[in-house]
Amino acid sequence: MKRPIGMLDSGVGGLTVVRELMRQLPKEKIIYIGDTLRCPYGPRPFEEVRKFTWELVRFLLTYNIKMLVIACNTATAVVLDELQRSLDIPVVGVIAPGTRAALKVTRSKRIGVIGTKGTIHSDAYQKSLKMIDNYVYVKSVACPDFVPIVERGDFHKKQTFEIVKKNLLPFQFEEIDTLILGCTHYPLLQKQIQKAMGRRVTLINSGEETGRELSTILQYSNLLNIYALEGKHKFFTTGDAAMFEKIASQWLDEKNYVTQQIRLE
């Protein structure tokens, strides 16, 4: 199956999934598009997230992709069902893999979820968890301060811990044993989140779990690429290519990709 895997995100956050995919499936080629110009998607109305995501999907479909990965939690929460119904290739989001991982590790069946406003208001994680197990208790909390902190590069600042603690206050008396990091950016605040929640709570990184699942899904649907392909991964961005490339180079081990700025019509 020589066709590439298409992947989209509201910006650079989906590179965490890209990294996992490159590591676990080195023979595959990735076409990635990050909408950095219009990032963040988290605070936007559903209708806008839906429109933007479809624009990214239409762009990716011109590359004859064999599978589509929605690496953004907000886009997955709002548009995944519709995409799965409309497209004739497998469409994978980041929510179901995080859900499965959480159900695997929880003992008390009391699970917390944090994400952007869009993700939490869509209730997609709760629905996904309850679909598998009716008896789980889910506490969902939007943390709108976290994405701006990460994008400003403030994740090491002392004051950041105070903001993290404040956002997580609704969990104080919930006695959850598992917390799903339902946003691409939150793993960068993992240390502070862990410290605020206490060491008894297991954190689930949705992006990383998705990397793990893609491998299974490709094999299962007979879409694996068994010959190493020529050429490079392609990263497209609606924003500045040099800026995107700088972040990509810090995240990925190998420079086996090209970056290009595009304009969506």
Q: Which strand ranges, in their side-by-side order, compose the sheet holding 257-261?
A: 91-93, 67-70, 5-9, 30-34, 233-237, 257-261
Interface with ligand I24, residue 94, by CB under 6 A = no
CB closer to ligand DGL, 144 vs 224: 144
Q: How far apart are CA 197 and CA 29, in angstroms?
A: 38
- Least Å from the CB of residue 80 to ligand I24: 20
CB closer to ligand I24, 12 vs 30: 12
Q: Which one from 72, 138, 179, 203 is the annotated catalytic residue?
A: 72
Q: Is 143 a catalytic residue?
A: no
Interface with ligand I24, residue 259, by CB under 6 A = no
Interface with ligand I24, residue 36, by CB under 6 A = yes
Q: How far apart are CA 136 and CA 138, in angstroms?
A: 6
3-state secondary structure (DSSP) of residue 11: coil
CB closer to ligand DGL, 4 vs 115: 115
**Residue 232 identity:** K
DSSP code of 137?
Answer: E
- Least Å from the CB of residue 189 to ligand I24: 9
Q: How far apart are CA 138 and CA 130, in angstroms?
A: 9
Interface with ligand I24, residue 41, by CB under 6 A = no
Beta pairing partners, 178: 111, 202
- Contact (CB, 8 A) for 50 and 44: no
**Binding site partner of 236, from ligand I24, ligand DGL, none, Cβ cut-off 5-8 A by kind:** none
Interface with ligand I24, residue 42, by CB under 6 A = no
List phi, psi (to 5°) of 105.
-95, -20
Q: Is 72 a catalytic residue?
A: yes
- As annotated, the active-site residues are 72, 183
Q: Which residues bind ligand I24 (CB under 6 A)?
A: 11-13, 15-16, 36, 150-151, 153, 184-185, 188, 239-240, 243-244, 247, 250-251
